[in-house]
């Protein structure tokens, strides 16, 4: 008998296709939940947080306890298969103009991020992922304007203070790397990893599937809380002793962290497969990724070695705050315009290349960049709000939720738990109006970096 029932107010809606997932040819679909089952652990959400929670749980509880993952859509169709695939070890804010972090805090964040990347590396090895899926190749932050170069300068100063290694690249080295004459300077840091995000997530699910049961197209629409919790999906239910909610911003649709989460969408486009002639005109390396020095700038990736999916370029930019956790066509159209412009500025030699896929995806941030984490009801844990860098922070929060639930304490968990709650947001309509105007202003200010 449930003591309290939570009706889930919204289910995830993702605009456009999860382009990376369309490139994964192997069928690895899981069934919809169509019966009533009993388990020890139910994980809601099959992204980075959900899958790392599943793996860490399976390591901690052995084979005796039953674990299921319920995913509203298909594995890797949500944000986990829509991102740009940068697993970044360094605190992202280091190149922000408003950055006010402390070295102790940064070192702690780096240790935590690297532990999550190491956890991912172990999965990549165990599940035999090829280099094109998990590539420990480092990352480049690049600048095309004076403002961008100033961002790189301040980034370098922070890295010097932290004793972190980096290499500067000049304009000609950037051209050798990317084929583009657009970038004037770059800063390479060696410990980040580039993933094919959908292939990575699906390989992890596949690797776990002899130990964990996956259900796709099985959104949790209500959760009854009691001695045993009951998660209801449209055609079945799960009675679970323990629940981990790994739904990122949709934790709010379960009624938790009200008025504490910012729901931001960001957008991307992927070209069609480049022809041999176009690849020749482009030059540069076959696989690379560049993050913008200006935080409002454009992320670009070229990839060519993933299982016959072609030689393609992906550009990501533009952001909108959508507290309804949904976006309209207008935002998609604006993103498309901005991405056409960014692509043309960087790759004038590819003026005939069209975009094959355009999409958007959800991020969840908090005002003070803190996670929405912890035991939110008895034996219900949240591993949500990854503050934009969910490939690493999602992995981390999933691992940590499993450790908190099973062990209660661990040295990594003690470091991770040293944070505050997400801050309460300003009221609407001021929040959305103010935030969207600020984003537009900052995008405009970022000039050619966009
Ligand atoms: C265009 C773009 C580029 C990005 N680039 C990067 C990048 O380069 N590096 C980086 O680190 N991050 C990047 N991100 C962010 C990253 O994708 C997210 O932070 C990450 O996916 C969050 O992981 P997660 O597991 O917490 O949540 P998600 O990946 O969102 O997974 C949560 C899952 O929960 C499911 N769900 C929600 N509600 C329910 C329900 N009621 N029942 C069942 N299931 C439910 C959803 O369908 C979803 O699959 C990018 C995002 C976008 C959109």
Model pLDDT for residues 343-353, shown as the tens digit of each residue: 999 999 999 99
Give me ligand 1 centre to Cα 426, in Å: 25
Q: How confident is the model at residue 96 (pLDDT cuts 50, 70, 90)?
A: low
Q: Are 155 and 141 in contact (CB under 8 A)?
A: yes
Quick one: pLDDT at residue 95?
55
| Ligand 1 near 82 CB (within 6 A) | yes
Q: Which atom of ligand 1 sits closest to the CA of residue 359?
A: 1
Give me ligand 1 centre to Cα 22, in Å: 17
Model pLDDT for residues 273-306, shown as the tens digit of each residue: 999 999 999 999 999 999 999 988 999 999 998 8
| Cβ-Cβ contacts under 8 Å for 179 (sequence gap 6 or more) | 282, 283, 284, 285, 347, 349
Question: What would the mean pLDDT of 353-382 be, rounded to a whole number?
Answer: 97
Q: Are 251 and 44 in contact (CB under 8 A)?
A: no
Give me ligand 1 centre to Cα 277, in Å: 36
Model pLDDT for residues 245-260, shown as the tens digit of each residue: 999 999 999 999 999 9
Model pLDDT for residues 128-138, shown as the tens digit of each residue: 999 999 999 99
Quick one: pLDDT at residue 26?
77
Quick one: pLDDT at residue 142?
96
Q: 244 - beta bridge partners?
A: 43, 381
Task: Tell me the pLDDT of the chain averaged across its residues.
Answer: 94
Q: Which atom of ligand 1 sits closest to the CA of residue 78?
A: 49
Give me ligand 1 centre to Cα 63, in Å: 28
Residue 97 has pLDDT above 70, yes or no: no
Give me ligand 1 centre to Cα 235, in Å: 24
Quick one: pLDDT at residue 100?
55
| Cβ-Cβ contacts under 8 Å for 162 (sequence gap 6 or more) | 103, 106, 107, 110
Residue 99 has pLDDT above 60, yes or no: no
Quick one: pLDDT at residue 101?
62
Model pLDDT for residues 12-31, shown as the tens digit of each residue: 999 999 999 999 987 778 99
- pLDDT more than 70, % of the chain: 97
Residue 333 has pLDDT above 70, yes or no: yes
Residue 312 has pLDDT above 70, yes or no: yes
Give Cα separations from 269 to 47, 130, 313, 355, 434 (angstroms). Answer: 21, 24, 8, 6, 27
Of 47, 71, 93, which is best to mutate to test ligand 1, by the most ligand atoms within 8 angstroms of its C-beta?
Answer: 47
Show the tokens assigned to 55. 């793996």
Q: Are 248 and 49 in contact (CB under 8 A)?
A: yes
Of 83, 88, 222, 288, which is best to mutate to test ligand 1, by the most ligand atoms within 8 angstroms of its C-beta?
Answer: 83
Model pLDDT for residues 370-423, shown as the tens digit of each residue: 999 999 999 999 999 999 899 999 999 999 999 999 999 999 999 999 878 899
Model pLDDT for residues 165-190, shown as the tens digit of each residue: 999 999 999 999 999 999 999 999 99
Atom 33, ligand 1: which residue's CA is nearest?
A: 45
Show the tokens assigned to 346. 């960087």
Residue 360 has pLDDT above 80, yes or no: yes
Residue 242 has pLDDT above 80, yes or no: yes
């Amino acid at each position: 008998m449930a003591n309290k029932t939570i009706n889930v107010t919204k289910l995830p809606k993702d605009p456009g296709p999860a382009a990376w997932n369309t490139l994964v040819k192997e069928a690895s679909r899981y069934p919809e939940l169509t019966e009533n089952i009993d388990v020890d652990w139910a994980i809601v959400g099959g992204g980075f947080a959900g899958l790392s929670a599943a793996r860490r749980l399976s390591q901690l509880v052995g084979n005796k306890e039953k674990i299921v993952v319920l995913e509203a859509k298909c594995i890797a169709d949500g944000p986990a298969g829509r991102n740009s695939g940068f697993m970044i070890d360094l605190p992202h804010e280091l190149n922000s103009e408003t950055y006010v972090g402390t070295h102790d805090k940064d070192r702690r964040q780096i240790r935590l991020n690297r532990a999550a990347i190491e956890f991912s590396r172990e999965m990549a090895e165990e599940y035999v992922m090829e280099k094109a899926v998990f590539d420990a190749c480092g990352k480049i932050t690049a600048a095309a304007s004076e403002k961008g170069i100033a961002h790189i300068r301040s980034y370098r100063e922070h890295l010097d203070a932290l004793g972190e290694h980096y290499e500067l690249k000049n304009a000609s080295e950037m051209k050798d790397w990317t084929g583009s004459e657009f970038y004037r300077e770059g800063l390479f840091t060696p410990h980040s990893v580039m993933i094919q995000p959908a292939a990575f997530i699906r390989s992890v699910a596949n690797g776990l599937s002899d130990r964990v049961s996956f259900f796709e197209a099985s959104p949790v629409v209500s959760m009854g809380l009691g001695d045993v919790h009951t998660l209801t999906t449209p055609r079945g239910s799960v009675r679970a002793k323990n629940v981990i909610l790994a739904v990122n911003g949709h934790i709010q649709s379960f009624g938790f962290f009200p008025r504490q989460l910012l729901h931001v969408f960001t957008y991307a486009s992927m070209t069609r497969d480049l022809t041999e002639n176009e690849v020749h005109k482009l030059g540069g390396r076959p696989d690379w990724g560049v993050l913008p020095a200006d935080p409002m700038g454009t992320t670009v990736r070229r990839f060519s070695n993933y299982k016959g999916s072609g030689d393609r370029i992906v550009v990501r930019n533009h952001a909108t705050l959508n507290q309804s956790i949904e976006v309209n066509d207008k935002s998609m159209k604006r993103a498309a315009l901005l991405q056409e412009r960014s692509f043309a500025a960087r790759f004038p030699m590819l003026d005939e290349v069209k975009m094959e896929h355009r999409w958007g995806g959800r991020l969840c941030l908090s005002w003070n960049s803190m996670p929405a984490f912890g035991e939110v009801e008895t034996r219900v844990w949240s591993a949500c709000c990854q503050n934009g860098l969910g490939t690493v922070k999602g992995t981390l929060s999933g691992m940590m939720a499993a450790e908190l639930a099973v062990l209660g304490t661990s040295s990594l968990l003690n470091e991770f738990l040293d944070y505050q709650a997400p801050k309460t947001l300003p009221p609407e309509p001021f929040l959305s109006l103010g935030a969207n105007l600020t984003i537009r202003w900052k995008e405009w200010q970022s000039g050619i970096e966009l």
